[in-house]
């Protein structure tokens, strides 16, 4: 779900067939993605529908995704084609790394789940008792290396696609990396890996997520203020300097916010890590204040999105 999890936009809704509940935004995307997986459309083996294979991913097009996500003229999803392209790119990235994704039982099949075996064999380290675990930043680095080709049309350095990384003149080398969706994917893998017997440690080695709920909270509450008030009324692309600067400040200020909340609650970083500050606080509060301030519940800045960043 992390690859196709960028913001859905204010109009899209998804009705869950099992419960009858109608969901929107992140919840809707999560349930729709789970239903797509459960349908077997991501598997290339009819006998094993609950798997995700490169061949099936490479067949995903906008029409297929539209049917799965209940998209239509009256139910538009932001960045539909971009999301479908990301899934096809994921299939291509898997094809480029058969040493990681080849299924031992069917070597001609490239299975996304084989990433677990790769992490267990190549990124996990034992403690003094011999128990294996993997550092969160090591997991992130693995995903960035393997999934770098997924992200389209981005900056390149020495021929390497930099993904969610953009120019900004204030940085020493001119580059500002974020990797929001890949970090989100890393966070999302923590529980499944732990269920499989591979705990993920050092979660604070990752950053807060530079996305529009966390960043929107900072703008809506006045902690950040645009130098030019007109920014709030004009469409901004993800590579524009104001958006890059806003996202960078969001990452930095989430750490400051976490420290302030911990001090207020009288808890340590170990007791209340950044992940909990974001999940239970900043992200939720950002969405709530957006709903109070704007009819569509959108962010305070108008971001031109193709479904591959936000």
pLDDT digits (tens, 9 = 90+) for 205-241: 999 999 999 999 999 999 999 999 899 899 999 999 9
Average pLDDT, the chain: 92
**Does 85 reside within a domain?**
yes
Question: Helix or strand or coil: residue 155?
Answer: coil
Per the structure, the count of domains in the chain is 1
For 114-132, what is the mean pLDDT? 95
Q: How sure is the predictor about 2, in pLDDT bands with cuts at 50, 70 and 90?
A: low
Q: How confident is the model at residue 5 (pLDDT cuts 50, 70, 90)?
A: low
3 pLDDT band, cuts 50/70/90, is: low
Residue 257: its H or E element: helix 241-265
Instruction: Report pLDDT for 6.
Output: 65
CA proximity to 255, closest of 190, 305, 203, 204:
204
Give me the phi and psi of 304, to 5 degrees please.
Answer: -80, 110
pLDDT band at 1 (very low <50, low <70, confident <90, very high): low
| 122 close to 138: Cβ distance less than 8 angstroms | no
CA distances (Å), 111 to each of 17, 193, 252, in order? 27, 16, 37
Greatest mean pLDDT among 50-59, 106-115, 275-284:
50-59
pLDDT for res 34: 94
Q: Name the pLDDT band for 279 (thresholds 50, 70, 90).
A: confident
Nearest C-alpha neighbor of 305 from the set 126, 82, 26: 82
- Residue 298 in any domain: the answer is no
106 part of a folded domain: yes
Among 196, 192, 216, 204, CA closest to 270: 204
Q: Which residues contact 28 (CB under 8 A, 6 or more apart)?
A: 8, 12, 13, 14
User: Is residue 79 assigned to a domain?
Assistant: yes
CA distances from 219 to 156, 177, 182, 249 (A): 31, 21, 24, 11
Of 309 and 114, the one with more pLDDT: 114
Q: What is the mean pLDDT of residues 170-179?
A: 95
Residue 214 within a domain: no
User: How far apart are alpha carbons 285 and 3 in whole angstroms?
Assistant: 24
Question: Structural domain of residue 72, as residue ranges?
Answer: 1-112
SS3 (DSSP) at 126: strand
Segment 6-56, tens digit of pLDDT: 677 889 999 999 999 999 888 899 999 999 999 999 999 999 999 999 999
Out of 23-32, 118-127, 195-204, least confident range: 23-32
Rounded CA-CA distance 63/68 in Å is 9
Could you say which DSSP state residue 198 is in? -
Q: 4-8, 104-108, 167-171 — which one is most confidently predicted on average?
A: 167-171
Whether 301 is in a domain gets the answer: no
pLDDT for 54 equals 97
Q: What percent of the chain has pLDDT over 70?
A: 98
Provide the pLDDT for residue 148: 87
Q: Using CA atoms, how far apart are residues 218 and 220, in angstroms rounded to an integer?
A: 6
pLDDT at 68 over 90: yes
Q: How confident is the model at residue 149 (pLDDT cuts 50, 70, 90)?
A: confident
* pTM recorded for the entire structure: 0.89
Within a domain: 157: no
Q: Is residue 121 part of a domain?
A: no
């Amino acid at each position: 779900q992390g690859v196709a999890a960028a913001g859905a936009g204010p109009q899209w809704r998804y009705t869950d067939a099992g419960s009858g509940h109608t969901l929107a935004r992140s919840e809707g995307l999560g349930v729709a993605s789970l239903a797509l997986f459960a349908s077997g459309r991501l598997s290339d083996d009819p006998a094993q529908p609950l798997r995700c294979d490169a061949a099936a991913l490479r067949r995903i097009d906008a029409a297929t995704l539209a049917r799965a996500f209940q998209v239509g003229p009256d139910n538009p999803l932001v960045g539909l084609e971009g999301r479908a392209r990301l899934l096809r790119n994921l299939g291509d990235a898997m094809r480029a790394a058969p040493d990681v994704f080849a299924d031992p039982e069917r070597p001609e099949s490239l299975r996304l789940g084989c990433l677990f075996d790769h992490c267990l064999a190549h990124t996990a380290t034992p403690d003094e008792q011999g128990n294996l675990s993997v550092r969160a930043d090591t997991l992130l680095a693995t995903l960035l290396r393997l999934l770098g080709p997924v992200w389209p049309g981005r900056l390149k350095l020495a021929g390497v696609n930099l993904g969610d990384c953009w120019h900004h003149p204030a940085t020493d080398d001119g580059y500002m990396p974020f990797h929001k969706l890949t970090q989100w994917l890393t966070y999302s893998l923590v529980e499944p890996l732990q269920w499989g017997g591979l705990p993920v440690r050092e979660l604070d080695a990752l950053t807060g997520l530079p996305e529009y709920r966390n960043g929107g909270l900072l703008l809506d509450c006045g902690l950040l203020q645009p130098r030019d008030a007109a920014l709030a009324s004009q469409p901004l692309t993800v590579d524009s300097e104001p958006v890059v600067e806003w996202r960078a400040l969001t990452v930095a200020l989430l750490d400051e916010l976490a420290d302030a909340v911990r001090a207020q609650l009288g808890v340590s970083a170990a007791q209340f890590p950044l992940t909990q500050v974001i999940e239970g606080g900043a992200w939720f509060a950002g969405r709530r204040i957006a709903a109070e301030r704007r009819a569509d519940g959108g962010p305070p800045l108008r971001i031109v999105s193709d479904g591959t960043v936000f």
